[in-house]
């Protein structure tokens, strides 16, 4: 089974308190499950996609760079969750 990471991002407190993370995680889990993949680590960030300083995304990139988990794939719910 291929091991992957998931990146979830919400922009503001209404999405944090709402279903932002829950909805994104469900979508990523469904995709992974239906494609024979296993979510190893889930990265959650609560900052605007327009911000350049995103510590969780930076941590994800470092994990991929170091590749200690042999992970080469990251899934996100939609492209706008990665950047605006």
For the stretch 45-84, pLDDT in tens is 988 777 788 999 999 999 998 877 789 999 999 998 887 6
14 versus 68: the higher-pLDDT residue is 68
CA distance 76 to 56: 14
pLDDT beyond 90 at 39:
yes
Our CA angle for 49, 50, 51, nearest 5°, is 90
Q: What is the share, in percent, of the chain residues with pLDDT greater than 90?
A: 58
Residue 82: count of CB within 10 angstroms of its CB: 14
């Amino acid at each position: 089974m291929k091991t992957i990471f998931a990146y979830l991002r919400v922009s503001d407190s209404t999405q944090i308190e709402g279903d932002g993370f829950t909805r994104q995680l469900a979508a990523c889990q469904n995709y992974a499950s239906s494609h024979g993949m296993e979510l190893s680590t889930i990265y959650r960030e609560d900052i605007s996609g327009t911000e350049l300083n995103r510590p969780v995304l930076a941590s994800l990139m470092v994990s991929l760079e170091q590749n200690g988990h042999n992970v080469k794939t990251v899934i996100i719910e939609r492209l706008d969750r990665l950047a605006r």
